[in-house]
Amino acid sequence: MIREILKPSGKLNIVLRDKHGNIKEELNVDNLVVTAGRNYIAARMTTTGAPTAMSHMAVGSTSTAAAVDNTALGNELGRVSLTTSEGVPNANTIVYTATFPAGTGNGALTEAGIFNGLTNGTMLCRTTFNTVNKGADDSVTITWTVTIS
């Protein structure tokens, strides 16, 4: 009997920079692909009624652990368009990158998510992490790698 199990997972690299571009802090964390995200992946495999592609990343300030039934961040502080979204076919991965510039998503950041809309939208992934204090002049770049293994 052939038995295959597909398991989506993700990892983030979070880099906080000051107004001069100097790295102030860097974190690497795992994430959770939520149920809505798993359903989204399955729906993208059809040619009819497929949902729109992931297009935005958001950061927030709730430290409640990620759960499979999450559909939004606990307290969203900012959302930006993805700056890149590229697949690595032979590695079964897609890499999403977004930068939160000075003035966007400021505060004590403790969560992040990927969505397919500027507002609301379907959440693909959510993670929580140790506090990253983003000041008004700071920027944060998140590189999020999702792998189907």
pLDDT in tens, 98-130: 999 999 999 999 999 999 999 999 999 999 999
Predicted pLDDT of residue 47: 67
Q: Average model confidence (pLDDT) for the chain?
A: 91
The CA distance from 129 to 107, in Å, is 14
Nearest to 140 by CA among 72, 73, 85, 78: 78
The CA distance from 90 to 96, in Å, is 17
Phi/psi at 36 (nearest 5 deg)?
-60, -35
Predicted pLDDT of residue 41: 77
- Local confidence band at 135 (pLDDT 50, 70, 90 cut-offs): very high
Which DSSP string do the residues of 100-139 spell out, in sequence order?
Answer: E-TTSS-EEEEEEEEESSSSS--EEEEEEEEEEEE-TT-E
Low-confidence winner among 66-75, 89-98, 116-125 (lowest mean pLDDT):
89-98
Low-confidence winner among 82-91, 121-130, 139-148 (lowest mean pLDDT):
82-91
| Statement: residue 37 has pLDDT above 90 | no
Structural element, H or E, at residue 41: helix 35-43
Higher pLDDT, 133 or 46: 133
The CA distance from 58 to 115, in Å, is 8
| Statement: residue 147 has pLDDT above 90 | no
pLDDT in tens, 8-24: 888 999 999 999 999 99
Predicted pLDDT of residue 33: 86
| Beta pairing, strands 123-134 & 139-148 | unpaired
